[in-house]
Structure 1
Amino acid sequence: MTGEASAPAAAPPATAGRAGSTLIVVLVYTAAMCMNGLDSTIVNPALLTIADDFDQPAVAANTVEIAFLVALVAALPVAGRLSDRFGTKRIFLGSLAVFTVASAACGLSRDLVSLVLARVVQGLAGGLLTPVGMTILFTAFAPHERMRLAKWLIVPTALMPALGPPLGGFLTEHLSWHWLFLVNVPIGTAAVLLGVFGLREHRAGAVGPFDRAGFLLTTPTLGLLTYALGFGPSQGWSSPPIAISGLLGLGLLVAAIVHQLRVPEPLLRLRLLADRTFGAAGALALLTSAGLMGVLFVFPLLYQAALGASALDAGLGVFPEAIGLMFASQVVDRLLPRLGPRLLTAPALLLAALVFAALALPGVAEHAWAVRVLMFCVGLILGTAVLTVQIAGFGDIGPPELGHAMALFTIVRTLGGSLGIAAGAAVIEAGGGSSGHDTSAPGPYRAAIWVTAVLVALGALCALRLPREAPAAPPFDDEAGPEAELPSPAGASMPG
């Protein structure tokens, strides 16, 4: 497009074309991430039913979730490399197609072994979808345009995982557990077809040799640590599988970090963390994910074990957190340009830590509506900080590094969540809440919630490294023309 003037009543063709292409990017990304987000939680209520159908013990059905989570994390390190080599469109749509086919295979499984194998394939594809999908989304929008992405980022990251358990229970009770997976098939098929015609290919450029040693070190490291941190609370930290996985994972982690920092073309570009803004965003992702996942793990236990509430009551008490996140997505794009990342994030994290601490106060958890209001505030306040970090943290990352930065950010955030759950379980166990004689004592559970509050408060220190100002539009951009419009969640366009 040239710099020539055009009639004010009509949008220039290049602008209109870009608005249409960005709408397709957003729709395909949202569909894929909603599928991935649902599958991380939708199976939980059906595990006992699956075990009964296959005439297996309940503990054996847990491998359905273990296989998915471990495979998902193990695939993350290669996401950036594959995007550079084959292009983001090809990897994203290929992963989405494999995820859809694997979902169909899960729904058609007739024994536990075939179901677990299909979940492994589904997890591997899902591990590529998140970072590559984020790369496509962030590549389609300049840094100053990304503030309005909050409305879309929050749907798969907050609402879908929260809807997973109730939707899974409904489908299992009224249809069959097979539909937990088959529901993905029409959505995935439509998203692939739309993406084939609407997504644009993007490659980072020249690609160096593949870091085989980094792959052999990093992939098992993430799998072992995810397994140990995720299932240590339920299986016991001293059980041989958990202890061996944890120790071996830590040893490989040290070796992987040393290797990644030495080689010129590492699988994971840890040197990106040296960037002031992205490094702060990575630390914040670790701490906020640890705090949020930790409190979502601990508080239902306090609600049930110590206060005698039912599992349904505990779920209803926590669910307003997802609603708060949805509200946060509506205000971030308005507050971020005015306050800037630093001033918006640091106070929000301190306020969120106070809300966490309030959940642990004696007498608060006994009042259902007080719990629901506080959980809504957790989602609203902490969600504002998390979305700000997710958008502003990539402002200084150029397109050649964006795929690697997304993969690294996703890994840190995922491990942070597992770490928060593990920390909460460790505090409860140390206080006798899980193995002691008096499991109804609320003290250990409240102490664990205080730990999650401290983790979130520590994030405020990291937030001081974020920039003061939000990304601004370039003063002149004759090549791109007028700023393209970002579609609103209703499908219409928002003014630029």
Structure 2
Amino acid sequence: MSPGAGRAGNVLGRRVPAKVAVCVVFVAANFVAIMDTTIVNVALPALGRDFGMDSAELSSVNVGYLVAMAVFIPVSGWLTSRFGTRRTALTALLLFTVASGLCATAGSLTALTGYRVLQGVGGGLLAPVGMTMMLRAFPVAERLRAQKYVMVPTAVAPALGPVLGGWLVDTASWHWVFLVNLPVGVLALLFGLRTLPDFPGAGAPRFDVLGFVLAGGGLAAVLYALTRAPDRGWGSGQILVPVVGGGVMLALTVVWELRTRHPMIDLRIVEDHLFRTTQLSLLPMGAAFMGVLYLYPQFLQTGLGYDALRSGLATFPEALGMLTASQLVARLHDRVGPRRLMVGGGAGAALIVLYLATAAGGAPEATLYLSMYLLGCSVGLLFASGQNAAFVTVSASRTADATTVLNMQRQIAAAFGVALAGTLAGTGAGSGTAGDYRAGLLTMAGVSVCACLLALRVSDRRVREGYRADAAQAAQAENGESVPMRRAADP
């Protein structure tokens, strides 16, 4: 543990262990940030009635949030190195909480969009900085135990958003989909101010302005295009221009960041074999998972006649499945190995999505609930195993770069999955049929197969070597010996 973590217990009389403090703040903050990507969707009709606009005109409410998140994810590593994890995390949480309150007071679409952009800035920083704190607070051998907490936002928040949002809109008003963030944000902020440890960086070099413009602008353009593609069509100039332009900017980002002396994101982190291979599997699985979560509730309503609340409840068992998987991975990881768990999770997800696409119309309702639970278990096996393995051979000094890259790919994967699913199902034009949704789900099953095949390249041997190296360093530290900085495994 870093010196900063060791000071957590004696500043201002703190008695909360550093690991507990980091877990509480990270889980609470990340939960509301992730939930805000889905909870607002069900409030759009109510917003439209209040503002006198149709749903298409309100898309900026979500697009502004997602694009702002994408722009500020790349800068999170630099801010962490410059100001430390504690100050960066608490500032991001404060910004997100204040912006949530402002969103609830918005009286026009322009104001609401602006406040959502501020929310996105805070949300874009929370996930990578929080993950950096978790990786530095927990040694390699204890990270699997921490996964059961880390998985809570990823598992529950996207599924809970539509259910909670629908209930709040029906029983109160759309303002409450933003106000619900305030108690969580305020409590997490007060708790963090008293207990959160600091993991100071080595000091940030001169800010990489060109790297920020290229990475942030490229991510924003690509994410904007992917978000709007189902509505406007992939052949539209409004989609092609940002896709091509954003793709060029991201390509230039890679060239620049590999050549500059002080890169904002050290992309050489992908030379680490474990990090690279796990990310290649997590990317298609993330796309498939978000695509299914987008398609399945609409399929239940269009094809099977469910109402919105019932379809949301029928989707929710996947969250329970992911939480179950986080417990299973902690028990099975050492005996089975991450590669087998990831391959099994990808294969299971593909089979279950295939079943949902082909048999949902004639299957008993209880079977659908069970299928979503098993889908969550399968996806959770791949996610939990992959995220743990990704950082086993990443040194403490490079965790900020690694978490930045991981969160960038996660945002793109989610946007691409939803865009592909929406395009295949024809939901942009509002004319999706049961057959269209089945085609979309079948495609998501195919994408899950890709994740399964890519997981075959993950090396269990490198994971074991990483555990041994970390244990040796811990033993040296306990004996008062000088501990050299552990380097990432050779590519």
Q: In the alignment, which of 92, 107, 112 is matched to residue 109 of structure 2?
A: 112
The aligned counterpart of 1:297 is 294
1:21 aligns with 2:13: no
The aligned counterpart of 1:486 is none
Q: 1: CA distance between counterparts of 2:409 and 2:74?
A: 11
- Is the 1:217–1:256 Cα contact (8 Å) retained in structure 2? yes
Q: CA deviation at 1:212?
A: 1.4
Q: Which amino acid aligns with 2:256?
A: H
1:338 aligns with 2:335: yes
Q: Which amino acid aligns with 2:412?
A: L
The aligned counterpart of 1:445 is 437
- Is the 1:214–1:260 Cα contact (8 Å) retained in structure 2? yes
Q: In the alignment, which of 223, 231, 234 is matched to residue 231 of structure 2?
A: 234
1:167 aligns with 2:164: yes
The aligned counterpart of 2:182 is 185
Q: 2: CA distance between counterparts of 1:172 and 1:304?
A: 19
Mapping of residues 308-457 of structure 1, within 5 Å: 308-362=305-359, 366-428=363-425, 440=433, 442=435, 444-457=436-449
C-alpha spacing 1:97/1:391, structure 2 compared with 1 (3 Å):
same
- Is the 1:48–1:61 Cα contact (8 Å) retained in structure 2? no
Gaps of at least 5 residues in structure 1 are 2-12, 482-496
- Is the 1:306–1:441 Cα contact (8 Å) retained in structure 2? yes
- Is the 2:21–2:197 Cα contact (8 Å) retained in structure 1? no
Mapping of residues 244-323 of structure 1, within 5 Å: 244-323=241-320
Q: Per residue, is there more helix in 1 or in 2? A: 2
Find the residue that maps to 1:282 and give its secondary structure: helix
Mapping of residues 133-148 of structure 1, within 5 Å: 133-148=130-145
- Is the 1:72–1:125 Cα contact (8 Å) retained in structure 2? yes
- Is the 2:80–2:200 Cα contact (8 Å) retained in structure 1? yes
Q: CA deviation at 1:480?
A: 5.2
Q: 1: CA distance between counterparts of 2:50 and 2:360?
A: 43
Q: Which amino acid aligns with 1:355?
A: I
Q: CA deviation at 1:426?
A: 3.9
User: What is the TM-score when the length of structure 2 is the normalising length?
Assistant: 0.88
C-alpha spacing 1:434/1:83, structure 2 compared with 1 (3 Å):
closer
Q: 1: CA distance between counterparts of 2:297 and 2:92?
A: 35
User: What is the TM-score when the length of structure 1 is the normalising length?
Assistant: 0.87
Q: 1: CA distance between counterparts of 2:376 and 2:267?
A: 30
The aligned counterpart of 1:50 is 47
Structure 1 vs Structure 2 CA RMSD: 2.5
Q: 1: CA distance between counterparts of 2:292 and 2:277?
A: 22
Q: In the alignment, which of 447, 458, 477 is matched to residue 466 of structure 1?
A: 458
Gaps of at least 5 residues in structure 2 are 2-8, 480-491
Q: CA deviation at 1:248?
A: 1.9
Q: 2: CA distance between counterparts of 1:301 and 1:478?
A: 56
- Is the 1:51–1:57 Cα contact (8 Å) retained in structure 2? yes
Q: Which amino acid aligns with 1:474?
A: A
- Is the 1:285–1:409 Cα contact (8 Å) retained in structure 2? no
- Is the 1:204–1:399 Cα contact (8 Å) retained in structure 2? no
The aligned counterpart of 1:101 is 98
Q: 1: CA distance between counterparts of 2:230 and 2:428?
A: 9
Q: 1: CA distance between counterparts of 2:207 and 2:301?
A: 50
Q: 1: CA distance between counterparts of 2:151 and 2:177?
A: 22
The aligned counterpart of 1:83 is 80
Find the residue that maps to 1:405 and give its secondary structure: helix
Percentage of pairs with the same residue: 35
- Is the 1:358–1:364 Cα contact (8 Å) retained in structure 2? no
Find the residue that maps to 2:274 and give its secondary structure: helix
Q: 2: CA distance between counterparts of 1:434 and 1:114?
A: 25
- Is the 1:306–1:439 Cα contact (8 Å) retained in structure 2? no
C-alpha spacing 1:448/1:439, structure 2 compared with 1 (3 Å):
closer
